[in-house]
Amino acid sequence: MTSILPVAGVGTPEHRAFVTLPHVARAGDPLWAPRSTEVADWAFEADHTLMRAFVAVDGGAPVARAAAFTAGEGLGTVGLFECLPGRGEVGRAVLEECVAHLRSRGVRRIEAPRSDPLTVGLQVGGFDLPQTLLTTHDPPFHLDVMLAAGFRVVRRMVAPLMTRAAAPRLRFPPPPPGITIRPVDPTRLEAEVAALGHLHGAVFAGAPGLVDHDRRRLVRRLLPYLDPDMVVVAEHAGTAVGSLLCFPDAWQAGHVDRARILSIGVLPGWERRGLGLAMGSRLMNVLLDKGYQSVEGVWVREENAAPQALARAFGATPGRRFALLERSP
């Protein structure tokens, strides 16, 4: 008999079932990153009034799970979805529990999957490529389960993939006149983080979930992974006007030779001045010098030609593909 149970708190049997499920579902999958389970740990450390998690258990074993998050401004999200093969009906039921909870919280729109501002999107392509830092890793049938639960695809994204094999063919230009391209200064990290936070607030204004009340916690999450050489700042007259955030793929097992770009952006008014190319050029040189074999870019909308053209300038090819889904409560 299958039961769908709310997760009352950390350390409960329901919590143990919730965090155990990915290890059951991904057993033997060499492309899955076991360290990705820390996304659930981070979620349970957050304000529990904003999250409600559910797990489906059959015969004492977990078979499906999901969590609902109240994001504010009428937005709710569903994330941390997992379902065993052949248990799509149970997976749909768990998703419906999340939707019912968000409906009771008065949300007007539900996005999925998203468990926090960084871990967004359902993998729908590139299944032969490994999971990287702060990304999802889904089997193809997860999309079918979510569609059957009433979600619809509203955005399709691609993560460009750059490899060492393509890098030698590149020629790196100098930065535009008046622009300084530099790494973050680890000796004044607090000031640097504050400046980057302000920059990102302006660059991504109006993009739900990218900049929110949880920013400080997200920064603390990323600091253990930080390599200052891989976070690039574009400055004009001492003011940051662009940034590129790249991190070692700390989820990679064994020797880390992959990296992931988490964001790249410039202030309004600084577009089309070559800043993205200049920041990317510096990063590519750093990655080559440090022996990295590949870097997965931040996902971009499939219809957004400009960032894809920038990625191609660095020898990128389309990598893993993701989708963002929505439904009404």
pLDDT tens per residue across span 43-76: 998 766 789 999 999 999 999 999 999 987 899 9
pLDDT of residue 212: 46
d(CA 71, CA 50): 7
Share above pLDDT 90 across residues of the chain, in percent, rounded to a whole number: 67
Sorting pLDDT into bands at 50, 70 and 90, what band is 236?
very high
- Residue carrying structure tokens 């419906």: 96
Share the mean pLDDT of the chain: 90
The strand ranges marked E within the chain are 2-6, 51-58, 61-72, 75-83, 109-112, 122-125, 152-163, 179-183, 231-236, 239-248, 258-266, 294-296, 300-301, 317-327
pLDDT, one tens digit per residue, over 173-223 is: 788 899 999 999 888 887 887 777 767 665 555 444 433 445 556 667 788
Residue ranges of domains in the chain, CATH in brackets: 2-158 (3.40.630.30), 167-319 (3.40.630.30)
Q: pLDDT per residue over 302-314, tens digit each?
A: 998 888 888 888 8
Whether 287 shows a pLDDT value over 60: the answer reads: yes
In the chain, pLDDT over 70 holds for what percent of residues? 91
At 203 the pLDDT is 57
Q: How far is residue 188's CA from residue 182's CA, in Å, rounded to a whole number?
A: 14
| pTM of the full structure | 0.91
Rounded Cα distance between 58 and 165, Å, is 47
pLDDT score, position 263: 87
User: Which residue in 150, 239, 153 sits closest to 192, CA to CA?
Assistant: 239
Selected residue with higher pLDDT from 226 and 90 = 90
Residue 309, Cα to own-chain centre: how many angstroms?
A: 21
**Does residue 81 carry a pLDDT above 50?**
yes
Would you give the DSSP letter of residue 121?
A: -
The Cα–Cα gap between 106 and 69 comes to 12
Tens of pLDDT, residue by residue over 162-183, are: 999 887 666 777 888 999 999 9
- Contact call for residues 297 and 85 (beta carbons, < 8 A): no
Phi/psi-derived region of residue 100, left when phi > 0, alpha when psi is between -120 and 50, beta in every other case: alpha
Q: What is the mean pLDDT of residues 219-243?
A: 88
